[in-house]
Amino acid sequence: MKIFSGTANPKLSEEVATLLNLPISKSEIVRFGNSEVRVRIEEDVKDEVCYVIQPTSNPTDAHLMELFFFADALKRSDAKKIIAVIPYFGYARQNIQHRVGECVSANVVIHFLENIGFHEIITFDLHDEATEGIFTVPFSNLTSFSVLANSIVDYLGKESINTKDIMVVSPDQGGVERARRFGAHLFGTDDFPITVIEKNRDQNAIHQSTAVAIYGDVKNKIVILLDDILTSGGTMFNAADLCIKKGAKRVIGAIVHHDFAPDAVKNIEKSVLEKLFTTNTIELKKEQMNSKIVESSIADLIASLLR
């Protein structure tokens, strides 16, 4: 087995390789002055099973192209099987036509990945499970909820975790099932209430949404707002403000993927969120670290699967 790393999250790739007692296999990734990229495999991969770890996070298109070129270079080097480990799957939110005339980007990306030669795809907490149906190669959608839940348990203290004081809240209608699955990891039971916020997104504007109503009781509760992705933060901040307005005692955010827009970190710091728990599906840059963001690693989950 060989593990290759793109440039999107080399730290995560290193962690996985260390856990597997393997080196990161040698490749050369050159970015030219005109922004084109070239990938070269620098070791013998003939008849090997090769994994390429690369979240397709911001800058999404650049990271995607690198991944495609890895597949081509490995195929030309006679690798037996080429498997993409895409901890964060960019464009997953564009999986339907939200408005007439739009492209369905997730569909396009999946076709590219398959046609370029990936034999298998592994990802984490894909935005919409229905997208799995588009894949025609073996596909695994792992979940990081155990890691996120453990990190919150450590922060709040095991004795504080109970279904009376803590309310898991989905910041939009689409996240109900996700909130339920996360709650089961957090509480260790399926028997708990959840609260749902009704979100209205303006499809004609970028990053504009409002939290219009809340269904459930958050008064005097410790709220855990659970979402898959935070980009602008609008969804999370509006939901957090509404929970505070409805009497929540504390509001903690939990997301899998921090695919941040430029102002997100500054706005997290200013928000009513006490903490924002997240994972390292995407690399957290030095300048993005702040006192509220707590990152936990999914390396062990990837290593276990590869093992």
Which residues carry out catalysis?
199
CB-nearer residue toward ligand R5P: 238 or 296: 238
The answer to whether 125 contacts ligand R5P (rule: CB under 6 A) is no
CB-nearer residue toward ligand R5P: 229 or 252: 229
- Out of 172, 211, 225, 275, name the contact with ligand R5P by CB under 6 A: 172
Contact criterion met (CB below 8 Å) for 194 and 213: no
CA dist 272 and 6 (Å) reads 36
CB-nearer residue toward ligand R5P: 142 or 230: 230
CA dist 68 and 63 (Å) reads 9
Residues in contact with ligand R5P, total (CB under 6 A)? Answer: 16
- Out of 229, 276, 294, 302, name the contact with ligand R5P by CB under 6 A: 229
The answer to whether 249 contacts ligand R5P (rule: CB under 6 A) is no
CB-nearer residue toward ligand R5P: 27 or 57: 57
Per the DSSP assignment, residues forming a β-bridge with 225 are 169, 253
Q: How far is the CB of 106 from ligand R5P (least distance, A)?
A: 13
The answer to whether 174 contacts ligand R5P (rule: CB under 6 A) is yes
Q: Which stretch binds ligand R5P (CB under 6 A): 62-70, 167-175, 181-189, 211-219?
A: 167-175
Return the residues of window 8-47 that contact ligand R5P according to CB under 6 A.
Answer: none
- Out of 209, 280, 296, 297, name the contact with ligand R5P by CB under 6 A: 209
Return the residues of window 89-108 that contact ligand R5P according to CB under 6 A.
Answer: 93
CB-nearer residue toward ligand R5P: 7 or 288: 288
CA dist 5 and 169 (Å) reads 35
CA dist 168 and 228 (Å) reads 14
Q: Which stretch binds ligand R5P (CB under 6 A): 10-18, 45-53, 95-103, 234-242?
A: 234-242
Return the number of other C-beta atoms located less than 10 Å from residue 115's C-beta. Answer: 10
- Out of 15, 48, 125, 228, name the contact with ligand R5P by CB under 6 A: 228
Q: How far is the CB of 196 from ligand R5P (least distance, A)?
A: 13
The answer to whether 227 contacts ligand R5P (rule: CB under 6 A) is yes
Q: Is the peptide bond before 59 cis (omega within 30 degrees of 0)?
A: yes
Return the number of other C-beta atoms located less than 10 Å from residue 43's C-beta. Answer: 12
The answer to whether 280 contacts ligand R5P (rule: CB under 6 A) is no
Contact criterion met (CB below 8 Å) for 8 and 57: yes
37-41 and 27-31 strand pairing: antiparallel
Q: Is the peptide bond before 171 cis (omega within 30 degrees of 0)?
A: no
Task: Give the residue among 112, 98, 93, 120 at the shortest CA–CA distance from 228.
Answer: 93
Return the number of other C-beta atoms located less than 10 Å from residue 86's C-beta. Answer: 27
CA-based R_g, the chain, Å: 20
Residues that bind ligand R5P (CB under 6 A): 93, 172, 174-175, 207, 209, 227-236
